[in-house]
Every structure is written in structure tokens, then in C-alpha cells.
């Protein structure tokens, strides 16, 4: 395990003084419950710390990068940058997934919303571990190297928008109708569901979207509806 962590340290460009912190960052509560390994802590305290470091670092970065954006837009940019989808995918990109310490049941549950959240939490725990081991400057540099480059795509593609809220505002302004959502299709086993949802204005189907949760599918449907209606351009 120590040798494997050495390869990970090389990949992220950080050599830990205390590798026990690094191992803790990858340790999910289910692993502790299953193995009862002595002297090993799960990563939730590190996640709590890392969440605060990520928030400060991203807030500082966005404040300086977008001097003309108001508080509301900056808050939306930050929310899109640090949500579970972005951080979970980033965890995969930097090679965290093979190092996760989980119960056998959790380890089998790959490619799901639950795994995405575990990875996002582990990423924040990793940032917390870097902060404790190396200090804020190194943790901030790590985030600037791996997380902040996602900002351009988020802003350019307007991934920061809450599509459901925006679609509702536009629908009420243009038609006076409050949109409704309906699951059109549900497929896959319980641990790996995929939902197809439609957004309607009264009886008219305006847009459709897919997602691994109903909420994600509704957001995708709203985004599709905005595009098809040409609203918000």
C-alpha cells in the first residue's frame, strides 16, 4: 500500500511527510466497520477540514478571476466547481479510485451516484490531508493545478446555472405556466439506475433528459427545454 501511495504522490506532485494522513484520506467509514483495523481513522474529519480549504481557495480564485461578476454569479460558479459531480470526476481523473479503502459491498458499487459521492468526499479529505501535512500554500497550489482549470468550461457552457429554476422563470415569463416533470423511463438495477425525465408545459412535452437520479434527469430535461425554446440566450 505504501508503494502504491508513492506512485499516487508522484502523480499529484506532493510527497507526504506523514503518509498515515494520506491513507486516512482514502479510508471510507465502511472499511473501518468491516475490518475493525486498529489505529486507522475514516476520512470524515479530514473531509470536513478539506471542504473549508476548497471553499476558501475557490472563492479567492473566482473573486480575482471574475472582477465584474456579482456575488450571486460567483456563488453559482463556486457551487458548480465544488459539487459532487465535478469533484467525483476529478477524483477519477487524478487516479484516486484504485486507492479507496471501502467495504467489499461498497467496492463492488462502481459507476454509481454513491461512488461519485464517495470520491468527492475523498477528494476533499485529500485536500484536508495536504493542508495538515504541507500547509495552505501547497493545498491551494494543488487546487489551482487540478480543480481551477475546470472553471473555464463551467462558465463557458453555463454549467453553473440551476436549469430547473431558470426554466421555471422563463416559462412563467413567456407562457405564464409552471412546468412539471414526469419520469418517462426507468431502467437498470437498483444500484445503477438510469432515469429519463420529461419537462412539460401543461400537456406539451418540451424537453427530455437522462440521469442517474431523478434530480439529475430533471436538470438535464430543463436544460434541454431551455435549448429547444431558445430561452436565456
Q: Report residue 68 as a C-alpha cell.
A: 465584474
The percent of residues in the chain predicted with pLDDT above 90, rounded, is 53
Ranges under pLDDT 50 in the chain = 1-2
The reported pLDDT for the residue numbered 215 is 80
Class of the CATH domain delimited by 2-155: mainly alpha
The reported pLDDT for the residue numbered 113 is 64
Distance CA(193)–CA(54), nearest Å, equals 30
Determine whether domain 163-229 maps to CATH 3.30.160.20: yes
Q: Which residues are catalytic?
A: 51, 124
Q: Tell me the three-class secondary structure of 6-59, residue by residue.
A: HHHHHHHCCCCCCHHHHHHHCECHHHHHHHCCCCCCCCHHHHHHHHHHHHHHHH
The reported pLDDT for the residue numbered 111 is 56
Q: Report residue 216 as a C-alpha cell.
A: 439529475
Cα dihedral 67, 68, 73, 77 sign: negative
Domain ranges (residues) in the chain: 2-155, 163-229
The answer, as to whether pTM is greater than 0.75, is: no
- pLDDT, tens only, 132-191: 999 999 999 999 999 999 998 888 776 667 778 888 989 999 999 999 999 999 987 776
Read off the DSSP letter of residue 203.
T
The reported pLDDT for the residue numbered 25 is 96
Q: Cα separations (Å) of 76 from 98, 103, 154, 176, 189?
A: 31, 35, 10, 26, 33
Amino acid at each position: 500500500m505504501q508503494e502504491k501511495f508513492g506512485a499516487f504522490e508522484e502523480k499529484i506532485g506532493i510527497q507526504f511527510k506523514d503518509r498515515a494522513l494520506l491513507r486516512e484520506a482514502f479510508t471510507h467509514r465502511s472499511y473501518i466497520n468491516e475490518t475493525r483495523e486498529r489505529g486507522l481513522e475514516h476520512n470524515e474529519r479530514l473531509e470536513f477540514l478539506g471542504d473549508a480549504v476548497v471553499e476558501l481557495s475557490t472563492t479567492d480564485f473566482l473573486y480575482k478571476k471574475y472582477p465584474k461578476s456579482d456575488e450571486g454569479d460567483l456563488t453559482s460558479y463556486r457551487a458548480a466547481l465544488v459539487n459532487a459531480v465535478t469533484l467525483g470526476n476529478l477524483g477519477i481523473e487524478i487516479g484516486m479510485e484504485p486507492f479507496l479503502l471501502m467495504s467489499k459491498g461498497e467496492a463492488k458499487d462502481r459507476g454509481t451516484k454513491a461512488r461519485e459521492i464517495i470520491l468527492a468526499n475523498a477528494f476533499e479529505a485529500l485536500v484536508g490531508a495536504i493542508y495538515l501535512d504541507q500547509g495552505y500554500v501547497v493545498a491551494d497550489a494543488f487546487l489551482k493545478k487540478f480543480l481551477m482549470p475546470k472553471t473555464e468550461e463551467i462558465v463557458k457552457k453555463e454549467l453553473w446555472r440551476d436549469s430547473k429554476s431558470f426554466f421555471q422563470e422563463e416559462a412563467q415569463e413567456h407562457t405564464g405556466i409552471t412546468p412539471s416533470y414526469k419520469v418517462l423511463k426507468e431502467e437498470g438495477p437498483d444500484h445503477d439506475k438510469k432515469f429519463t425525465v420529461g419537462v412539460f408545459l401543461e400537456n406539451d412535452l418540451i424537453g427530455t433528459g437522462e440521469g442517474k437520479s431523478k434530480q439529475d434527469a430533471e436538470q438535464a430535461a430543463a436544460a434541454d427545454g431551455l435549448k429547444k425554446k431558445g430561452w436565456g440566450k
